[in-house]
């Protein structure tokens, strides 16, 4: 039903493929317009609107490694590095 289409990015002028799978997704979501920008330009545009987060460096309460977190750590609550936090979530 759908076939891959080659489109031109209105931002950078590069050609990109609007795949059959993407077209099916657009139809399922009720989108009527084709994408105007390539993936790189869409990502760059999306990230440009996000404010830079201030990262705080602390020590992981589990393994003692350096942990960078997007919030100011409090003394009364443990803070974990990404790896320890993921392990804790898996364990339940």
Q: Domains of the chain: which residue ranges?
A: 5-48, 56-91
pLDDT value for 19: 96
Task: Report how far residue 11's alpha carbon sits from residue 36's, in angstroms, rounded to the nearest whole number.
Answer: 8
Cβ atoms 75, 61 nearer than 8 A:
no
Cα separation values, 53 from 27, 84, 85, Å: 35, 22, 20
pLDDT value for 47: 82
- Regions of the chain short of the pLDDT cut 70: none
pLDDT value for 91: 84
Q: What is the pTM for the complete model shown?
A: 0.53
pLDDT value for 58: 95
pLDDT value for 50: 72
**Which own/partner contact pairs does 71-79 have at CB distance under 8 Å and 24+ positions apart?**
none
pLDDT value for 63: 96
pLDDT value for 52: 73
């Amino acid at each position: 039903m759908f076939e891959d289409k080659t489109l031109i990015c209105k931002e950078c002028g590069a050609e990109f493929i609007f795949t059959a799978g993407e077209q099916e997704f657009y139809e399922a979501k009720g989108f009527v317009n084709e994408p105007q920008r390539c993936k790189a330009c869409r990502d760059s545009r999306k990230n440009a609107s996000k404010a830079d987060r201030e990262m705080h460096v602390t020590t992981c309460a589990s393994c003692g490694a350096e942990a960078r977190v997007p919030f100011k750590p409090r003394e009364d609550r443990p803070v974990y590095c990404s790896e320890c936090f993921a392990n804790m979530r898996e364990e339940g």
